[in-house]
């Protein structure tokens, strides 16, 4: 049994982690700042959660007494809708992590489990039959406008297919959110080496499940499709629907956090947390539409300029390092998600500093 400080405990992922840690017999001190962008302006603080901002060092000093491990889920999420979101990401995610790490040092707390994200990689890994492994940049607008969505080898023009992404792949964040997640990792890595502590950074792939926030500009695609179907509208599939991702159920994310808490690792260890069963966005839309009995998805050919084409994890390392293997098959999990409860749409505003 460990004594754990859990941050972001009222959020979509944090509340599932909270339940799983308690079910595994741990003692949890749960905190959340209850950001109105995530919870709405007057949301009550859930039972068993203290309203605390991770940027408040003195409040953390009080709570960190006797804590063995910090499980840090608190963050402003989403891809970032405009440049105006940058200060909120930097303040809550990066300054917040810096304040937390300093407080952990004062309390001699030497273990951190950090919620990171596959967004730190930017684009996934690619290969071509003739050119082998290829390093890709940003897709060209002219190609996207012509419906050429796959990456091509710059030298030969050959169309490339995805390869799975290992943890030592280059880190090239492409959004404000991704920049803030990588900065969190960098602070945690430096803290681990300066203090002789252990950090396990869990790079979540595309998370879905009960209580996911509804359709907002900051939501993931599973909730957007799910909300459209509920309203009787067809899911709008961007590009040609062939974009590949790894969808992992929030119960598996919670189990990965329990495994990371229970398995101390030295230094800084990043781990892909993924189902290991890649799926295209077109398939995600079809599974959800079929489960709800329609309407059928519309493949629009539209695109979001900053989107990556494919990002598929290699989940092996988490199995070796912390004994974590995902249990929920994405086809079964997404079919069930078609009718899962979602969080209310009360909170749709941009995050504030
Ligand atoms: C998402 C998150 C990111 C998170 C990561 C891992 C957002 C905006 N992005 O990145 O913050 O860290 O997962 O969990 O929360 N799409 C459609 N139709 C739509 C909306 C999206 O076809 O209505 C497509 C997009 O073009 C993209 C794919 O769905 O190809 C996935 O989009 P999204 O859910 O935003 O996820 P990621 O970009 O993978």
Ordered per-residue pLDDT tens for the chain, 353 residues: 999 999 999 999 999 999 999 999 999 999 999 998 888 888 899 999 999 999 999 999 999 999 999 999 999 987 666 889 899 999 999 999 999 999 999 999 999 999 999 999 999 999 999 889 998 989 999 999 999 999 999 888 899 999 999 999 999 999 999 999 999 999 999 999 999 999 999 999 999 999 998 876 667 899 999 999 999 999 999 999 999 999 999 999 999 999 999 999 999 999 999 999 999 999 999 999 999 999 999 999 999 988 999 999 999 999 999 999 999 999 999 999 999 999 875 655 667 88
Task: Show Cβ contacts of residue 190 under 8 Å, excluding neighbours closer than 6 positions.
Answer: none
Distance, CA 105 to ligand 1 centroid (Å)? Answer: 36
Task: Show Cβ contacts of residue 107 under 8 Å, excluding neighbours closer than 6 positions.
Answer: 61, 64, 65, 67
Q: How far is CA 145 from its chain centroid?
A: 29
**Gap between the Cα atoms of 307 and 122, Å rounded:** 9
Best residue among 82, 119, 214, 220 to mutate for probing ligand 1, ranked by most atoms within 8 Å of CB: 220
Distance, CA 221 to ligand 1 centroid (Å)? Answer: 5
**Gap between the Cα atoms of 318 and 130, Å rounded:** 32
**pTM check: above 0.85:** yes
**Gap between the Cα atoms of 204 and 172, Å rounded:** 16
Residue nearest ligand 1's atom 5 by CA: 206
Residue nearest ligand 1's atom 27 by CA: 307
Cβ(133)–Cβ(127) below 8 Å: yes
| The token pair that represents 222 in the structure block | 């599973």
């Amino acid at each position: 049994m460990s004594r754990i400080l859990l941050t972001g405990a009222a959020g979509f992922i944090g509340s599932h982690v909270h339940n799983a840690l308690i079910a595994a017999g741990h003692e949890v001190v749960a905190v959340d700042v209850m950001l109105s962008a995530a919870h709405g302006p007057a949301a009550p603080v859930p039972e068993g959660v203290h309203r605390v901002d991770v940027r408040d060092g003195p409040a953390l000093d009080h709570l960190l007494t006797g804590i063995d491990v910090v499980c840090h889920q608190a963050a402003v999420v989403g891809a970032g809708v405009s440049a105006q979101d940058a200060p909120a990401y930097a303040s809550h995610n990066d300054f917040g992590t810096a304040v937390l790490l300093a407080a952990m040092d004062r309390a001699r707390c030497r273990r951190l489990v950090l919620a990171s994200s596959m967004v730190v990689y930017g684009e996934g890994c690619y290969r071509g039959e003739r050119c082998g492994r290829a390093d890709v940049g940003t897709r060209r607008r002219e190609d996207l406008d012509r419906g050429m969505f796959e990456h091509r080898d710059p030298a030969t023009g050959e169309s490339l297919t995805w390869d799975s992404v290992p943890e030592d792949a280059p880190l090239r964040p492409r959004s404000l959110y991704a920049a803030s997640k990588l900065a969190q990792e960098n602070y945690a890595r430096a803290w681990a080496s300066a203090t002789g502590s252990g950090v396990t950074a869990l790079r979540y792939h595309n998370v879905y499940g009960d209580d996911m926030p509804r359709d907002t500009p900051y939501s993931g695609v599973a909730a957007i499709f799910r909300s459209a179907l509920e309203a009787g509208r067809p899911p709008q599939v961007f590009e040609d629907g062939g974009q590949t991702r790894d969808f992992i159920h929030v119960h598996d994310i919670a189990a990965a956090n329990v495994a990371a808490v229970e398995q101390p690792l030295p230094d800084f260890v990043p781990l892909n947390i993924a189902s290991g069963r890649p799926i295209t966005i077109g398939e995600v839309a079809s599974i959800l539409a079929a489960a709800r009995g329609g309407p059928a998805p519309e493949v629009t050919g539209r695109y979001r300029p900053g989107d990556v084409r494919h990002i598929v994890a290699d989940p092996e390392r988490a199995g070796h390092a912390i004994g974590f293997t995902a249990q929920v098959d994405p086809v079964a999990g997404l079919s069930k998600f078609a009718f899962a409860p979602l969080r209310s749409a009360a909170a749709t505003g941009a995050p504030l500093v």
